[in-house]
Structure 1
Amino acid sequence: MPIAEGAVSDLFGRPLFFALYDWFLEHGSVYKLAFGPKAFVVVSDPIVARYILRENAFAYDKGVLADILEPIMGKGLIPADLDTWKQRRRVIAPGFHTYYLEAMTKVFTDCSERSILKLEKLLGEGELQEAKTIELDMEAEFSSLALDIIGLGVFNYDFGSVTKESPVIKAVYGTLFEAEHRSTFYIPYWKVPLARWIVPRQRKFHSDLKVINDCLDGLIRNARETREEADVEKLQQRDYLNLKDASLLRFLVDMRGVDVDDRQLRDDLMTMLIAGHETTAAVLTWAVFLLAQNPSKMKKAQAEIDSVLGKGKPTFELLKELKYIRFIVAETLRLFPQPPLLIRRALKPDTLPGGYNGDKNGYAIPAGTDIFISVYNLHRSPYFWENPQEFEPERFQVKRASEGIEGWDGFDPSRSPGALYPNEIVSDFSFLPFGGGPRKCVGDQFALMESTIALAIYCRSLMWN
């Protein structure tokens, strides 16, 4: 296996995944990265990614990622061990059914329109003060929007973060920053028992965590007090468009035969709060940035919005007609995937496929090997994408042959005819914004639809340049 000798200086001033991309172009689709005594295998190949994520998925767990996130998410779906994951996935996945997603389009729309009203008010105040420009941190604005959507859609709780601040909102952001810090810091000093008492940022982190946990415990307690137990099938057939509480929490609490303790339920909710909120905020921020750089694509997007929506509100059926907006969301996730890395650890010795231009005999790895599947590299690979650095939403309409790449079936939308968005099936694992295989993100359609509706409403109301 090729070896890339990493120096800490290679990472100064830029994210890790940029360096991984440079080494990918130099060393190939599978290489070993050594930082002092610690080594990782970096995968930038869909054939190898498919093997790890789908074909031999249960020979790997989340490894380093679980170590980082378990103090925050407990036994939630992302850091959970295999047995816990299997149990919780069976319970949570049915909650993201079609009727629920259809009802959520109203939540997505209402929260987005509330965000637009705030921006229009700020712009109006700026005009009154004859300000030539108004500076806004759009990532912060989209983070607030995403947090409000998660609050209403998952907990039936209105954070109201678009228009106000609260201790819970501050705690959520503090926890997000700590999760990011831990994922990029190479010495896990927070594991030292006294760290939570003597390190200021760790004291703040545990204080933030308590604020969020107290809030979630209260929401769970309220939901249990009004529990209406039913089988999964009956829960899915409720009139979600007219329910007072159509949240995922209500679904999980009401599910018959699943008497999960409050701690596990809180871990599940915390995982959805952190992971779901961050992904949407990132994709919307990058989407408007890319559209601002490409005025012709902005005009094309607005033409579709005017044609499909006019001045009306988005619905589940109308979302299906917003084809170009959906492709913009997908293309944004291709260029700027969130997260840019998927992390796995081998539970037993294994042999990885060689992948494209790799060793035909594959690569033997011992148990305990930590693997970085670089989604960023996969999505920008010159071997599997034409013009990979360019913003071209139209690319997802075009079938791409495997062009002689053994073991890869190319890009073919017909492989998943009912899918609203490109996925790992149509791309044969060269497009993995939400992972793939059995541990694929359970809330991918929620996040994609949320991003599509929010982007459509923002583009209808504002011109980006």
Structure 2
Amino acid sequence: MAMAASSLLNPSSPTLLNLNFQRSDFGYVNSSTTTYLLTSKLKRSSIRCQSTSTDEPKTKRNLLDNASNLLTNLLSGGNLGSMPVAEGAVTDLFDRPLFFSLYDWFIEHGSVYKLAFGPKAFVVVSDPIVARHILRENAFGYDKGVLADILEPIMGKGLIPADLETWKQRRRVIAPGFHTVYLEAMVKMFRDCSERTILKFEKLLEREELKGSKTIELDLEAEFLSLGLDIIGLGVFNYDFGSVTKESPVIKAVYGTLSEAEHRSTFYIPYWKFPLARWIVPRQRKFHGDLKVINDCLDGLIKNAKETRQETDVEKLQQRDYSNLKDASLLRFLVDMRGADVDDRQLRDDLMTMLIAGHETTAAVLTWTIFFLAQNPSKMKKAQTEIDSVLGPDGPTLDSLKKLEYTRFIIAESLRLYPQPPLLIRRSLSPDTLPGGYKGGKDGYKIPAGTDIFISVYNLHRSPYFWDRPDEFEPERFSVKKNSDIEGWAGFDPSRSPGAFYPNEIMADFSFLPFGGGPRKCVGDQFALLESTVSLAMLLQKFNVELRGSPESVGLVTGATIHTKNGMWCKLSKRSDLQ
């Protein structure tokens, strides 16, 4: 379960992180870093020019920029010393997507710069050396800041918004639950849930074949969302949403809560904190109604689990025969763990966090993986050949997944190009000195307590300084060691994380952060990666996939995750090469 809700406030009107654009990720990258930077800048500039219909408002925009920068410097900017400043930040955010702006300012100003916005200044980090310092070397000098403020009404004291002491306590309890035997049982459950989706597709194809068609058109993003919800329900708290084939009040409430979580992460003013807002504002009335539906469901599941509690030591819990256990959920593990008594409210917060954070994210990973594969049929075929040679009639197992190396690299490469979440938020708890990073200040940058920091995972993953051909879809890159001549960065080396199924931040020395890094790294990373790989392998084992329209027609919208504007509409057909 990647922590989807770790996205950020986007200073773009009318919402704070509303990325809504159309583009192709291919065809303009030269292997030369210099040429890449030039062509990348020109590409983004041309898109910006197309979105600006007239030059008439430019004077007003300059006045707004100057006023914003002056206000920022007066109220907070001066505390950040000599750090480079992204001038004109406000108006650029009105003209084009945030990611383009953050990336261009990264290329222009370097690894660490100040983003001026009204009365606030945010520090944007796009460098693995600096990210490593914040996430690992001084991890407990930072908290989740504004993110915790937004998510606390939804997730309570779950792992994402929890204060440091609560997080330490809950992490010690929850982390052991994702042990190898549990993951083995989960792979079977991933397989069973994916089989529902496959059967649904096959039945739809059979109907179309009766009409003379060999393809069906589906919004795969919507299908992956349903699949992800079923998996989270069964794997985390032993509840079968059955959302692949039906809809229920609980499912509607989950989607309503997801929508509100995204709304709160993308809105200027936290109006929901105003007195009486929950009763007066229709959206907030609906949200609290949705929360009650979900909480009542979770309370019932927690009550049932406690009534059948079989308390035992962690070691014995990890040795259970999960393949024959009727309830192999994480909730069962947490309830049965000796010495881990916790009130129902905390358990509910833990489950709610995993439900919200782990559902939409995996769907996004699968959606963009298909987006890239559909544009690279040779790579899809290569994955299918590997899948055919490894998987038996019973489908994926944990052992067989170890042999699906290229398929796993495909998942990792999708996460590199479209990370979920695309940005991480931190706030300094005490004064600190950030490293300068590559081409940054030699003495680093001093920041005061209370500084809000955006770690741009998107920039890290597409940095031309740390990745070759960063905008190209190349799963093969993860099989090759990359030496480094950059001081302070150790390059990419798979041997640094022996036995790891998937590329991670250790191999890449923090230039690859699909699940964060350091102590507060996502606890469910292996769950999410295995889930994605099983679902992808089973889909490609049976079907060929192509986009219904052009890649450019797929709009991107971002809130908590990067998702599509109008769905990922694809054409599915049975593989003709199957015997």
Name the residue aligned to 2:496: 415
Give distance in 1, aligned partners of 2:533 and 2:252. 27
**Which one has the largest radius of gyration?**
2
Q: Is residue 112–residue 457 contact of structure 1 (8 Å, CA) maintained in 2?
A: yes
Partner SS state of residue 287, structure 1 = helix
Distance, in Å, in 2 between the alignment partners of 1:41 and 1:301 is 40
Tell me whether 1:100 sits opposite 2:201 in the alignment.
Answer: no
Question: How many residues end up aligned between the 2 structures?
Answer: 464
User: Out of 307, 331, 335, which is 1:253 matched to?
Assistant: 335
SS of the residue aligned with 2:506?
A: helix
Correspondence for 1:450: 531
TM-score calculated relative to the size of structure 2: 0.78
Normalised to the residue count of structure 1, the TM-score between the two structures is 0.97
Show CA shifts across 1:27-58 (max 9, x none): 21111111111211000000000000000000
The answer to which of 116-125 and 365-374 deviates more is: 116-125
After the TM superposition, which residues 319-334 of structure 1 pair with which residues of structure 2 at under 5 Å, given as runs? 319-334=401-416
Instruction: Flag the 1:271–1:113 CA change in 2: closer, same or farther, 3 A.
Output: same
1:238-387 residue pairs with structure 2 within 5 A? 238-387=320-469
Q: Does 1:460 align with 2:559?
A: no
Are 2:512 and 1:431 equivalent residues in the alignment? yes
Matches within 5 A, 1:153-172: 153-172=235-254
Distance 1:116 1:19 in 2: 40
Distance 1:235 1:279, change over 3 A: same
Q: For the residues of structure 1 that align with 2:210 and 2:264, how far apart are their CA atoms?
A: 44
Map 1:77-88 → 2, pairs under 5 A = 77-88=159-170
2:13 aligned residue: none
- Does the CA contact (< 8 Å) of 1:5 and 1:35 recur in 2? no
In structure 2, C-alpha distance between the alignment counterparts of 1:438 and 1:15, rounded to whole Å: 31
Once residues 96 and 530 of structure 2 are traced to their aligned partners in structure 1, the CA distance between those partners, rounded to angstroms, is 31
- Pick aligned residue for 2:117 from 35, 44, 52: 35
Query: Are the structure 2 counterparts of residues 145 and 225 from structure 1 closer, same or farther at C-alpha, using a change threshold of 3 Å?
Result: same
In structure 2, list runs of 5 or more residues that go unmatched: 1-82, 547-579
Q: Judge conservation of contact 1:6–1:35 (CA < 8 Å) in 2.
A: no
CA contact (8 A) 1:171 1:208 kept: yes
Gaps spanning 5+ residues in structure 1: where? none
RMSD over aligned Cα atoms? 1.4
Percent identical: 83
Per-residue Cα deviation, 1:119-140 (whole angstroms, up to 9, x for no partner): 2222222333456864422111
| AA aligned opposite 2:346 | Q
Q: 1:189/1:131 Cα in 2 relative to 1: closer, same or farther (>3 Å)?
A: farther
User: Secondary structure, in 3 states, of the residue corresponding to 1:426?
Assistant: coil
Match of 2:222 among 125, 132, 140: 140
Aligned 8 A contact 2:89 2:115 in 1: no
Separation of aligned partners in 1, 2:350 and 2:356: 10
Q: Does 1:16 align with 2:85?
A: no
Displacement of 1:8 in angstroms is 4.6
Q: Distance in 1 between matches of 2:296 and 2:88?
A: 42
In 1, the alpha carbon distance for the partners of 2:100 and 2:187 equals 35
Give per-residue Cα distances to partners, 1:210-259, cap 9 Å, x unaligned. Answer: 11111111110110010000011111111111111111000000011111
Aligned partner (choices 48, 51, 72) of residue 154 of structure 2: 72
> Distance between the aligned counterparts of 1:301 and 1:130, measured in 2?
29
CA contact (8 A) 2:90 2:116 kept: no
The residue number in structure 2 matching 1:202 is: 284
Which whole-Å CA distance do the structure 1 matches of 2:153 and 2:180 have between them?
Answer: 33
Indicate the SS of the match to 1:263: helix
User: Residue 301 of structure 2 corresponds to which residue in structure 1?
Assistant: 219
2:534 maps to a residue whose letter is I
Residue 58 (structure 1) aligns with: 140
C-alpha distance in 2 between matches for 1:453 and 1:220: 29
Larger CA deviation: 387-396 vs 113-122: 113-122
Matched to 1:462, the amino acid is F
Write the distance in 2 (CA, Å) between the matches of 1:7 and 1:384.
Answer: 26
Q: Distance in 2 between matches of 1:31 and 1:314?
A: 45
Give yes or no for contact 1:168–1:211 (8 Å, CA) kept in 2.
yes
Tell me how far 1:16 sits from its aligned partner. 3.0
CA contact (8 A) 2:125 2:453 kept: yes
Q: Any idea what SS the aligned residue of 1:223 has?
A: helix
Residues 323-358 of structure 1: CA deviation (Å, up to 9, x unaligned): 011000000000010000110000011110000000
1:238–1:400: structure 2 CA closer, same or farther, 3 Å change rule?
Answer: same
For 2:87 and 2:357, the matched residues in 1 are separated by: 32
Letter in 2 for 1:407: G
Q: Residue in 1 aligned with 2:58?
A: none
Measured after TM superposition, the shift of residue 296 of structure 1 is 0.4
Alpha-carbon distance in 2 for matches of 1:197, 1:324:
52
1:154 corresponds to which letter in structure 2?
V
Give the stretch that moved more between structures: 425-434 or 112-121: 112-121
How far apart are the structure 2 equivalents of 1:32 and 1:458? 44
Deviation at residue 311 of structure 1 after TM alignment? 3.2
1:49-86 Cα shifts (integer Å, max 9, x gaps): 00000000000000011011111110000110000000
How far the C-alpha of 1:462 sits from its partner, in A, is 1.1
Q: Distance in 1 between matches of 2:105 and 2:449?
A: 24
Return closer, same or farther for 1:15/1:263 CA change in 2, 3 Å cut-off.
farther
Asked whether the 8 Å contact 2:176–2:314 carries over to 1, the reply is yes
Task: Return the alpha-carbon distance in structure 2 between the equivalents of residues 10 and 285 of structure 1.
Answer: 29
Aligned-partner Cα distance in 2 for 1:138–1:10: 33
Q: Distance in 1 between matches of 2:199 and 2:493?
A: 40
Residue range with higher mean Cα deviation, 44-53 or 121-130: 121-130
Per-residue CA shift, 1:140-178, capped at 9, x if unaligned? 110100110111111111100000001111111111111
What is the CA deviation profile of residues 434-458 of structure 1, one whole-angstrom value per residue up to 9, with x for unaligned ones?
0000000000000000000100001
Is 2:127–2:511's contact at 8 Å kept on the other side of the alignment?
Answer: yes
Distance 2:527 2:225 in 1: 16
What is residue 127 of structure 1 aligned with on the other side? Answer: 209
> Residues 191-227 of structure 1: CA distance to partner in whole angstroms, max 9, x if unpaired?
2122222222111111111111111111101100100
Give the partner amino acid of 2:237: F
Contact 1:29 1:356 (C-alpha < 8 Å) held by counterparts: yes
Q: 1:68 to 1:380 in 2, by over 3 A?
A: same
**Is the 1:4–1:32 Cα contact (8 Å) retained in structure 2?**
yes
1:47 aligned partner: 129
Using a 3 Å threshold, how does the CA distance of structure 1 residues 6 and 87 change in structure 2: closer, same or farther?
farther
